Chain A
């Protein structure tokens, strides 16, 4: 299976820029997607196919990368962005998720 590795947690101040990384154990082309999950809620799609903003998602969110290294950037970070962020690949079978990065605001 394709293993997706994310840093467990990050802490930033509102107004700053934050980058969340996701590294795949094998190439996934551009088929990497990003989700936001707040406590007690279902995941919400933010970015699809590495760099495409999902409908209704603020332009503060952006994605980049291809192959094995991908980044979700939030700029500027707002208080409401406190959540866990997951990457997910759909190039290799089975589809897999990263372990999630918990974003906390200082």
Chain B
């Protein structure tokens, strides 16, 4: 059974950074790209970017370049996303999703709240 287990919700100060994880199980981690998606009430669903764990290649939505950094650890089957210089606009739920035919499997999401 494919499972993507994301780290816990975060409360962070404006200007800080946050790094979240997505641990994959039930499939060969290096065989599939991992995507990250932002969901906020005002903006709906937004594609942030993707990483191909086998070759550590990333591709970003231009909107999130400089904001998000995607990495992957093949030894632990875990993908990471770091968000930097956080503002209230970054308050949202963030999902990781494995690409098979489309975004076939999703993590449960991490709620990030940016507040002082």
Binding site for B on A (CB under 8 A): 33, 35, 42-45, 48-49, 52, 54, 86, 88, 90, 93-100
With both beta carbons as reference points, the residue of chain B lying nearest to A47 in the complex is identified as B102
B108: chain A residues within 8 A (beta carbon): 42
Cβ of B102 and Cβ of A49 under 8 Å apart?
Answer: yes
Q: A42-B108, A94-B62 are known contacts. Are A52 and B44 too (CB-CB below 8 A)?
A: no
Task: Given A42-B95, A42-B108, check contact A90 B102 (CB 8 Å).
Answer: yes
Per-position binary interface string of chain B over residues 24-48, scored 1 when its CB falls under 8 Å from any chain A CB and 0 otherwise: 0000000000010100000011110
The chain A residue with its CB closest to the CB of B96 is: A42
**B22: shortest Cβ distance to chain A, in Å?**
12
Shortest A76–chain B CB gap in Å is 25
Across the interface, do A45 and B61 meet the contact criterion of CB distance under 8 Å? no
For A43, what are the chain B residues with a Cβ–Cβ distance below 8 Å?
45, 95, 97, 103, 106
Instruction: Judge whether A44 and B106 touch: CB under 8 Å.
Output: yes
A95 / chain B contacts, CB cutoff of 8 Å: 35, 47, 61
Tell yes or no: B107 within 8 A of A by CB.
yes
A97 touches B104 (CB 8 A): no
Q: Closest chain B residue to A49 by CB distance?
A: B101
B104 and chain A: residue at smallest CB distance: A45
Please name the 7 residue pairs, one residue from A and one from B, whose CB atoms are nearest each other, closest first. Answer: A33-B102, A97-B45, A48-B101, A42-B106, A94-B61, A48-B102, A95-B47
